[in-house]
Amino acid sequence: MLEGSMKQLIDEDLHRSLVTVYRVSDYLDFPFTLREVADFFLPGADISANELRRMILNGDFKDIPFKVESDCLLTRPDQNPRIRLIRESMSEQKLMSAGEFASFLVRLVPWVMTIAVTGSVAYGSAGKRDDIDLFIITRRNRLWLSIFFALILVRLFKTLHLQPTHLVPFCMSYVHDEHGFRNETRKSINPLFARELLKAVPLVGKSHYRRLLEENGWVQRLHASSYHAKLKSLPKSDLEPARPKEVPIILDWADAFTFFWLSRYLHLRAFLTNLRLESRGQHMRLFEPLISRNSCVYSSNFYGWLRQLWQEPIA
């Protein structure tokens, strides 16, 4: 009896997750592969892509109108697996552009510890107009100086036309210093954050990114195989450049001063950007700037919708 109840509970969780996958895939008009779904979108379900295919073809989830074609899960008749090739190609171009930007930034700013790409580019689903979302971790009390120089570099990339326009929409959507990231992870123990952390593509500071994963070992309870595969692909140590001599107290003051002014500018810019997006009817792209001394995060309506879909916390 107990064994049957557990199986029913697991099947219900799996069904709920697949319904969520269907809704997201249909909204994005982007077909996920069976392997992607099995590895990243079914938290806690230890099943393979082949097992998932068999279950769907056997009609175990017949109320979810998936169609399996070319190892993809399609959500409607007009959805074509070839759209993946187009989006993946665009994502690869944007990823290469982000790599060039990251290499410049890490030379300019000695306090950056990790730069990774998240969002649609990391998932391989980016369209031409999509932003390149950057995940950046800096040393403590160097966040705002780092953002200041990063914004200058973004402006230089655009002004000097170092890349085509659609390859430079860099968005520093998730930036923390060491202290801010630790605080964030304590309150973000959920399936969506786990997947975002695993899907991030590190460009700079890969060994530090590995340490971030190791410090958040709860992620493997949701996606064990993907977690271990990610760790295996990352170096255990980097040859980190020697830190320049500096006067900490002066730089602490400079970072606090930069925070005071730059945070106000970013709030104003977010307000004006949201007005423009709302006038175009792009309500899912509206975002809220979550800004503090140790963090600068942009949380969009779309991300909020995803968070509601995958809202089950991890015990």
pLDDT digits (tens, 9 = 90+) for 275-288: 999 999 999 999 99
User: Per residue in 181-236, pLDDT tens?
Assistant: 999 888 888 899 999 999 999 999 999 999 999 999 999 999 999 999 999 999 88
Name the 3-class secondary structure at 266: helix
Q: Summarize the chain as % helix, strand, coil (round to 5).
A: 60, 15, 30
86: pLDDT strictly greater than 90: yes
pLDDT band at residue 243 using 50, 70 and 90 as cut-offs: low
Instruction: Find the mean pLDDT for residues 244-250.
Output: 71
Name the 3-class secondary structure at 32: strand
Mean pLDDT taken over the chain: 90
Instruction: Find the mean pLDDT for residues 84-100.
Output: 95
Q: pTM for the full model?
A: 0.90
Distance separating alpha carbons of residues 63 and 23, to the nearest angstrom: 13
Token pair of 61, please? 């989830």
Token pair of 53, please? 């295919």
The pLDDT value given to residue 262: 97
What is 84-239+246-309's CATH number? 3.30.460.10
Distance separating alpha carbons of residues 229 and 226, to the nearest angstrom: 5
